[in-house]
Every structure is written in C-alpha cells, then in structure tokens.
C-alpha cells in the first residue's frame, strides 16, 4: 500500500515552510547557558529553521555528574533524546525501574511526564529534540 504526498511538490526552496539551515560543528558554538552546570549546550538552529515549532540541542558533558537534576517536567508536546556517546540514566514517574539510554539509542520521553536525571557517563554527548522549540521546565517534588 503506497502513501500519497501531503503537499504538491517538489517545492522551490523559497516556498518551503521551513528554512534550509546548516549548523557546523564548531566548539565556539557551545555555551553553558542552560539548566545543568556539568554540561554545555549548542543550539542546532531548528527553532530558526521551523519558526519555533522544533528545537534541537547538542549537549555534552564537561564535568563529572555531581547530583540528580531533581524531579521536573517540561511543558512540551514531544521530547526526544538521541545519545551519541556514553550514557544517561533517568527515573520516570510511574515506572519503578530506571531507564538508561546508551550510545546509539533514542528515547522518546512522554510529554509532560515527571522525570529525574539520576546519572550520566563522564563522556556523555547527546542530541535533544523537542516540540515546541521554546518551553518551560517545572520542578515537581515527588
């Protein structure tokens, strides 16, 4: 069974609903302006490309993991984590076991569900994708 196209195409680039954006890997694009002190962040340009519909960040460890993030949730409709190197371990409300995401694995975090980062490798590197691009994080003690 074949699927049909969602729009008439191919489109000229000028008519596309998103922009063509290339974000090269440059160390000077990483910054520490984020919620966790032991990692640094690099914006991948998806908010600009999609008019804010999608956000994507490259995150990498710069210090050993010190302490859990604490229970929190994100006001978003979709949240994905793809681990490039190392591992990261989460707790999720409603799941008794922790969830460890290792290099080459992708996690779809249910939107709005409380979670806690409880561990990570010293060489952690991941891509985080979320919808919408701009969101609020809310602390919630469990």
What residues of the chain score a pLDDT lower than 70?
1, 35
15 three-state secondary structure: helix
CATH of the domain at 135: 2.60.120.10
Tell whether 20 is covered by a domain. no
Domain count, the chain: 1
Tell whether 134 is covered by a domain. yes
- pLDDT at position 95: 92
Tell whether 43 is covered by a domain. yes
Tell whether 105 is covered by a domain. yes
Tell whether 17 is covered by a domain. no
Neighbours of 52 (CB within 10 A): 13
Tell whether 102 is covered by a domain. yes
Rounded alpha-carbon distances, angstroms, from residue 82 to 12, 43, 44, 86, 98: 31, 15, 14, 11, 17
Q: Which residues contact 110 (CB under 8 A, 6 or more apart)?
A: 79, 92
For residue 40, the enclosing domain spans 30-139
Tell whether 23 is covered by a domain. no
Percent pLDDT > 70 in the chain is: 98
Tell whether 117 is covered by a domain. yes
Rounded alpha-carbon distances, angstroms, from residue 92 to 87, 96, 139: 16, 8, 14
Q: Quick check: 131 and 77 in contact, CB under 8 A? A: yes
What is this structure's pTM?
0.85
């Amino acid at each position: 069974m074949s699927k049909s196209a969602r729009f008439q195409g191919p489109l000229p680039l000028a008519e596309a609903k998103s922009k063509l954006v290339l974000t090269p890997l440059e160390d000077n694009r990483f910054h520490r302006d984020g919620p966790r002190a032991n990692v640094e962040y690099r914006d991948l340009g998806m908010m600009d490309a999609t008019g804010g519909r999608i956000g994507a960040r490259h995150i990498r460890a710069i210090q050993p993991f010190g302490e859990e993030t604490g229970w929190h949730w994100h006001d978003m409709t979709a949240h994905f984590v793809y681990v490039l190197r190392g591992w990261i371990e989460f707790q999720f409300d409603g799941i008794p076991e922790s969830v460890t995401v290792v290099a080459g694995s992708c996690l779809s975090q249910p939107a709005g569900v409380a979670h806690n980062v409880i561990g990570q490798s010293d060489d952690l590197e991941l891509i985080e994708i979320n919808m919408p691009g701009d969101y609020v994080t809310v602390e919630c003690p469990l």
